[in-house]
Structure 1
Amino acid sequence: MKKLILIGLALVMLSCRAFVGFEPTFTMGMSESDFKKKNKPELVAANEEDGTRIYSTYYASTNYKFFFFRNEKLVRFEKGIYADDYKSFRY
């Protein structure tokens, strides 16, 4: 009986992890292609003049996170509350 309770408790605890959401995996200076492989970002803006691209990630339990790439390298990271907060950041 104790084993069933422990197994049930373990299953409940492990299943809760699925609802928490996942933090983006990144390091400053990482390549844009590596970032896209490890995360599911959405391209929200691109400036062809200086090669800047902005990606965002969002999970239900976290705020929006914005990642700024220049010349295919991650150069900046910002957090926001709204989907269009990246427009107020200077880059």
Structure 2
Amino acid sequence: MRKSIIVLFVSVFAFGCSLQNNYPLGTSEAEFTKKNKMFIEVAEKSSQRTVYKKTLPGNSYLYYYFVNEKLVRIDEGQLQPNVVIERVNGTY
């Protein structure tokens, strides 16, 4: 019983670690997509860049940005800016 719990814990830990970011900048897009087929989706594709979204445990995401088929940026997505509209002299 104790042995099976340890094996389960190690398996879950290894799976979670495999979903984390292990790709240095400069990694080729082909290598990245080959190793992550099941975990990524294309978030944006244009002539300038391709962005992949990878879902992590806890409903968080990592975004991988490729330019000229090379990894150039990794982040957790961009937050929407706070928009403040002030009323000045009766106009907006």
TM-score higher than 0.5: yes
Letter in 2 for 1:27: P
1:14 counterpart = 2:13: no
Q: Equivalent pairs: percent with the same residue?
A: 27
TM-score when normalising by structure 1: 0.64
RMSD of aligned alpha carbons = 2.9
Structure 2 CA distance for partners of 1:61 and 1:73, relative to 1, 3 Å? same
Q: Which runs of 5+ in 1 are unaligned?
A: none
Does structure 1 conserve the Cα–Cα contact (< 8 Å) formed by 2:56 and 2:62?
Answer: no
Structure with higher helix content: 1
TM-score when normalising by structure 2: 0.64
Structure 2 CA distance for partners of 1:87 and 1:57, relative to 1, 3 Å? farther
Task: Please say which structure displays the higher CA radius of gyration.
Answer: 2
Aligned counterparts of 2:46 and 2:54: Cα–Cα separation in 1: 19
Q: How many residues align?
A: 78
**Bigger Cα displacement from structure 2, 11-20 vs 28-37:** 11-20
